[in-house]
Amino acid sequence: MSDVILLLMTGLGLGALYFLIAGGLSLIYGLMGVLNFAHGSFLTVGAIAGWEISKLLGGDSWGVLLISMVVGALVGAVVATATELLLIRPLYLRHIEQALITVGLSLASVALFEGIWGVDPNYVSRPPWLIEVTKIAGALVPNDRFLLIGSAVLVLFGMLAFLRYTRFGLIIRAGVENRAMVQALGIDVRRAFTLVFAIGGAVAGFGGVLASQYFGYVSPHLGGNLLIFAFIVTIIGGLGSLVGAAIASVLVAVLQQFANFYLGGTGDLVIVVLLIVVLLTRPTGLLGKRAH
Partner 1 sequence: MNFLSEIFKRRGLIVGPLLVAAMAVLPLIDFELPGIFPGPSSNPGTLQILALALLIGSLALSYHLLLGVAGLLSFGHALYFAIGTYGLAILLRQTDIALLPAMLIVGLVGLVVAAVLGRISLQVSGIAFAMVTLAFAQAGSVLIRRNSEITNGEEGLPINTANVPDYLVGVVNTKNLFWLALVIAVIAFLLVTWFEKSRAGHVVAATRENELRVRVLGIRPTRVKILAVVSAGVIATVAGMVYFVLQSTASPANISADLTLTLLVIVVLGGVGSRWGALIGGVIYMILDQRLTSLARAPELKELPEFLYIPLSEPLFLLGSIFILVVLFLPGGFAGLAKRFRTGKRAKLKELA
Which residues form the interface with partner 1 (CB under 8 A)? Answer: 29, 35, 87, 90-91, 96-97, 100-101, 103-112, 114-116, 228, 231-232, 235, 239, 265-266, 268-269, 272-273, 275-276, 279-280, 283, 291
* Cβ closest to partner 1, residue 156 vs residue 176: 176
What's the rounded Cα separation, in Å, for the pair 179 and 194? 15
Q: Closest CB to partner 1 among 150 and 265? A: 265
Identify each DSSP E strand in 12-80 by its residue range.
Answer: none
Residue 140 C-alpha from the chain's centroid: 27
Closer to partner 1 by Cβ: residue 190 or 292? 292
Closer residue to partner 1 (CB): 131 or 273: 273
Q: How far is the CB of 87 from partner 1 (least distance, A)?
A: 7
CB of 270 vs partner 1, minimal distance in Å: 10
Residues 10, 178: contact at Cβ < 8 Å?
Answer: no
We find the least distance from the C-beta atom of residue 286 to partner 1, in angstroms, to be 14
In terms of CB distance, is 141 or 251 closer to partner 1?
A: 251
Residue 257 CB, shortest distance to partner 1, in Å, is 16
Cα–Cα nearest to 40, from 248, 238, 230: 230
Give the containing element (helix H, strand E) for 140: strand 139-142
Least Å distance, CB 165 to partner 1, is 31
Q: Nearest to residue 24, comparing CAs of 179, 233, 291?
A: 233
Reduced to 3 states (helix: H, G, I; strand: E, B; else coil), residue 122 is: strand
Three-state DSSP class for residue 141: strand
| Distance between CA atoms of residues 226 and 199, nearest Å | 18
- Please identify, using beta-carbon distances, which residue of 7 and 101 lies nearer to partner 1: 101
Residue 235 vs residues 52, 168, 215, 244: alpha-carbon distances, Å: 34, 25, 25, 9
Supply the minimum distance, in Å, between the C-beta of residue 111 and partner 1: 4
